[in-house]
Amino acid sequence: MMTAQGLVYLSQTKPLATKAADGTFALTLLAFDRIGPHQVEPWRITWFGPKAEAFWSQNAGLLKAGQPLHIRVEKLRNFTNGTRMGGPEFVVTATSIDIAPASHKRGQPVPSACISY
């Protein structure tokens, strides 16, 4: 199974918090990996369970467009939809998400002050 971690930035699409029929909490975020000045990759991140629910209840107000997040994800899949962004989107399941300071830049180590779940 593929895993990854890194820094992404939330898109303007609002986060979606839902519960499945069995009561499992799910948080879905659309974020972008800013590879270069004119290069971005969209990431659709879904996180399930009590840690995701705790993260949402404590940080929903911080989840605004441009907010940097340090993510750890698994089950990476590349989904191509020609009408969305004109190319592929990574679809992943989060294992953890940290809120990074708004001033955090790509390539910097994630500060220990990040909120971690």
Instruction: Supply the range of the domain harboring residue 73.
Output: 3-108
**Does 117 map to a domain?**
no
Give which of 39, 38, 6 is closest to 107, Cα–Cα: 6
List pLDDT tens digits, range 60-93.
Answer: 999 999 999 999 999 988 877 656 555 678 899 9
In a domain, 114, yes or no: no
pLDDT at residue 114 in the model: 45
pTM for the model: 0.81
Tell me if residue 81 falls in helix, strand or coil: strand
DSSP state of 46: E
- 50 domain-assigned: yes
The CATH number that applies at residue 96 is 2.40.50.140
Residue type, 54: A
What is the rounded distance in angstroms from the CA atom of residue 117 to the CA atom of residue 98? 7
Q: Are 112 and 100 in contact (CB under 8 A)?
A: no
The pLDDT averaged over each successive group of 10 residues in the chain (117 residues) is: 89 94 95 84 94 96 94 88 67 94 60 45
| Cα 13 from Cα 37, distance rounded (Å) | 21
